[in-house]
Amino acid sequence: MKVNTKILVTPLNWGLGHATRCIPLINELRRQSYDVHIASDGGSLQLLKEEFPQLHFFELPSYNISYNSHFVWSMAKKIPAIVNAIEAEREAIQNIVTQCGIDVVISDNRYGCYSSKTKNIFLCHQQYLLLPWWMKPVSPFINFLHRRYLNKFHEQWIPDFSNHYLSGILSETALSNVRYIGALSRFKASDSEMYYDIAAVISGPEPQRTFIEQILWSQLQSAPYKSILVCGKISDDRVAVKSRNAEKVNFLNAHELELLLNKSDVVICRSGYSSLMDMISLRKRVIFIPTPGQTEQEYIAQRFQAMKIAPMFTQNDFNIEYAIDVLKDYKGFSKTHDFSTLLAEAVKSI
Q: Which domains does the chain have, with CATH numbers?
A: 6-184+339-349 (3.40.50.2000), 196-327 (3.40.50.2000)
Taking the C-alpha atoms of residue 295 and residue 247, their distance in angstroms, rounded to an integer, is 31
10 in Cβ contact with 93 (< 8 Å): yes
Average pLDDT for 133-147: 75
Average pLDDT for 256-261: 96
Report how far apart, in Å, the C-alpha atoms of 32 and of each of 10, 95, 180, 349 are: 19, 26, 19, 11
- Model confidence at 337: pLDDT above 70: no
Name the band, by pLDDT with cuts 50, 70 and 90, for residue 1: very low
% of the chain exceeding 90 in pLDDT = 72
**Bridge partner residues of 243 (DSSP):** 246
29 in Cβ contact with 9 (< 8 Å): yes
Which of 75 and 118 is assigned the larger pLDDT? 118
Strand 241-243 to 246-249 pairing: antiparallel
pLDDT at site 133: 65
Q: What is the pLDDT of residues 68-89, one digit of tens each?
A: 555 555 555 566 777 788 899 9
Strand ranges in the chain using DSSP code E only, listed in sequence order: 6-11, 35-40, 56-59, 104-108, 119-123, 155-158, 178-180, 196-201, 227-230, 241-243, 246-249, 264-269, 285-288
Q: Which of 151, 117, 123 is nearest to 9 (CA)?
A: 123
206 in Cβ contact with 274 (< 8 Å): no
From 34-48, 53-67, 71-85, 182-196, the region with the lowest mean pLDDT: 71-85
What angle (nearest 5°) sits at the alpha carbon of residue 45, between those of residues 43 and 48?
Answer: 105
Q: Is the peptide bond before 207 cis (omega within 30 degrees of 0)?
A: yes
